[in-house]
């Protein structure tokens, strides 16, 4: 059956009018669904700043204390590496430090003892010198007297007034006095030497003090070696640097890891944000610090307060998982909306959510409308 050309043209005009009317009806319906002026809606997924937990040292994993999804607190034990060798090194360094501490203490006692002995020894040596000098003086006087007695005896013998035996006894007395004088003088020399030796006590104290300083330097070095060994040993016990949730666990016990190898990732549940994409035509309305509200399917009637903290400086093509009211929009800007709080940690990374950003202060809040 053939249709006249005029009838075909009429049907085409009627169809075009119908499509035009449908389009304007759709536009009007879409405009009624849109948000009030001053609000921008977007959607995305909740994310968090991940902290990668890694080992400073190479070694074998002795144990992992947490699994994916476990909440952790700052300082909580996460991973233990085998520490047998380092433990022995710490014990060796501790023994060396203890030995030097004992030597330092002994040196201090020796110096204190010298400081007490030196004055006493010096004073006794000075007294000995005095006694020796007095003995020399007495011996010199005795020797002079014996010499005079011997000379008189010889004169008397020569004149015949006394016997030669008397003269011999006087000579013997002179010899004894001379011998005593020599002994007294030798004793005086020895006493002066003893005084000089005693007066060197100050130098001995200074030598001991220098030795003490050397021991103290060795002790500081030993303590530093011990502290270094203990620090390295502590690095084998890996703890949580921040509170959060174990997002990814990358290793298992028994594995041998290299220095700097990542072990797990933590996400701070109190520092979450919703990463959304705003069309290029609307990005100029946004600025840092604007308020926003985040809605999730789990809590549709409870919006979470957020703030615009990041606006990308460059546009990108619309990601596949992002919904936009206008499919013709090809370029969008990434925007991060940081949650002001996450009570009871109800929101977690990976959760899809919608957001409404208010860029006019007098605009009334409204829920997202897609």
Confidence of residue 200 (pLDDT cuts 50, 70, 90): confident
**pLDDT in the model for residue 276:** 94
- pLDDT for 33 beyond 60: no
250 SS3 class: coil
d(CA 370, CA 34): 8
Average pLDDT across the chain, whole number: 83
Per DSSP, the chain holds a count of helices (H) and strands (E) of: 4, 13
> Which of 315, 307, 308, 320 lies closest to 279 in space, CA to CA?
315
Q: Please say whether the beta carbons of 247 and 223 come within 8 A.
A: no
Single pTM value for the model: 0.56
* Pairwise CA distance, residues 296 & 354, whole Å: 6
| Confidence band of 20 (pLDDT split at 50, 70, 90) | very low
Alpha carbon distance 324, 307 (integer Å): 21
310 with 367: CB under 8 angstroms?
A: no
pLDDT of residue 45: 92
Cα 141-146-147 angle, rounded to 5 deg: 100
Mean predicted confidence (pLDDT) in 275-283: 91
Short-list 236, 239, 263, CA closest to 250:
263
CB atoms within 10 A of CB 14: 10
> What confidence tier does 29 reach under pLDDT thresholds 50, 70, 90?
very low
User: Collapsing DSSP states into helix, strand and coil, what is residue 272?
Assistant: strand
Q: How far apart are CA 158 and CA 151, in angstroms?
A: 11
| Ramachandran assignment for 344, one of left (phi > 0), alpha (psi -120 to 50 degrees), beta (any other) | left
Are the C-beta atoms of 39 and 366 separated by less than 8 Å? Answer: yes
pLDDT of residue 189: 86
Give the model's pLDDT for residue 109: 92
pLDDT value of residue 227:
94
91 pLDDT band, cuts 50/70/90, is: very high
Q: Which residues, at least 6 apart from 349, have a Cβ–Cβ distance to it below 8 Å?
A: 45, 46, 47, 48, 245, 247, 267, 272
Q: What is the pLDDT of residue 101?
A: 94
Q: State residue 18's pLDDT score.
A: 44
Alpha helix (H) ranges present in 200-348? 201-235
Q: Return the DSSP state at 365.
A: P
Confidence of residue 21 (pLDDT cuts 50, 70, 90): very low
How far is residue 212's CA from residue 227's CA, in Å, rounded to a whole number?
Answer: 22
**pLDDT above 90 coverage of the chain, percent:** 44
Is a pLDDT exceeding 50 seen at residue 28?
Answer: no
Q: What is the pLDDT of residue 163?
A: 65
Q: Which long-range contacts (CB under 8 A, 24 or more apart) does 293-296 make?
A: 293/355, 293/356, 293/365, 294/46, 294/337, 294/339, 294/347, 294/353, 294/354, 294/355, 295/353, 295/354, 295/355, 295/356, 295/367, 295/368, 296/347, 296/351, 296/352, 296/353, 296/354
pLDDT of residue 205: 86
Element of type H or E holding 81: strand 77-81
pLDDT of res. 38: 93
Place of tokens 């080992």: 55
Q: Is 21 helix (H, G, I), strand (E, B) or coil?
A: helix
Distance CA 273, CA 351 (A): 11
* Spatial distance between the Cα atoms of 356 and 282, rounded to a whole number of angstroms: 13
What is the number of residues in the chain? 370
Ordered structural domains, the chain, with CATH: 87-232 (1.10.287.620)
What count of other Cβ atoms lies within 10 Å of the Cβ of residue 365? 13
Residue-level pLDDT at 356: 95
pLDDT > 50? residue 360: yes
Strand 71-72 and strand 39-54: the pairing is: unpaired
292, two tokens: 């926003």
């Amino acid at each position: 059956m053939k249709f006249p050309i005029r009838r075909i043209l009429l049907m085409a005009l009627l169809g075009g009018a119908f499509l035009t009317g449908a389009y304007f009806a759709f536009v009007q319906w879409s405009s009624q669904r849109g948000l009030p002026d001053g609000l921008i809606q977007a959607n995305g997924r909740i994310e968090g700043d991940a902290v990668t937990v890694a080992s400073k040292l190479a070694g074998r994993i002795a144990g992992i204390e947490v699994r994916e999804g476990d909440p952790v607190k700052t300082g909580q034990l996460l991973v233990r590496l085998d520490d047998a060798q380092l433990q022995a090194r710490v014990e060796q360094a501790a023994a060396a430090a203890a030995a030097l501490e004992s030597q330092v203490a002994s040196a201090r006692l020796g110096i204190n003892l010298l400081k007490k002995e030196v004055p006493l020894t010096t004073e006794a040596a000075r007294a000995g010198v005095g006694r020796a000098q007095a003995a020399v003086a007495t011996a010199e006087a005795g020797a002079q007297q014996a010499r005079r007695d011997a000379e008189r005896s010889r004169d008397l013998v020569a004149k015949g007034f006394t016997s030669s035996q008397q003269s011999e006894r006087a000579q013997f007395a002179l010899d004894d006095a001379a011998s005593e004088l020599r002994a007294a003088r030798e004793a005086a020399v020895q006493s002066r030497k003893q005084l000089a030796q005693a007066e060197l006590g100050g130098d001995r104290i200074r030598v001991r003090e220098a030795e003490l300083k050397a021991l103290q330097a060795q002790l500081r070095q030993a303590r530093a070696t011990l502290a270094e060994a203990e620090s390295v040993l502590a690095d084998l016990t890996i703890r949580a640097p921040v509170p959060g949730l174990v997002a990814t666990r990358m290793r298992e016990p028994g594995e041998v890891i290299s220095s700097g190898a990542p072990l797990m990732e933590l996400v701070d549940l109190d520092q979450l944000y919703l990463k959304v994409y705003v069309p290029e035509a609307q990005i100029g309305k946004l600025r840092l610090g604007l308020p926003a509200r985040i809605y999730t399917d789990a809590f549709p009637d409870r919006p979470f307060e957020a703030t615009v903290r990041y606006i990308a400086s460059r546009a990108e093509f619309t990601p596949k998982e992002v919904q936009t009211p206008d499919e013709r929009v090809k370029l969008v800007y990434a925007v991060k909306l940081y949650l002001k709080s996450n009570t009871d940690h109800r929101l977690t990374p990976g959760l899809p959510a919608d957001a409404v950003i208010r860029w006019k202060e007098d605009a009334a809040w409204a829920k997202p409308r897609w």
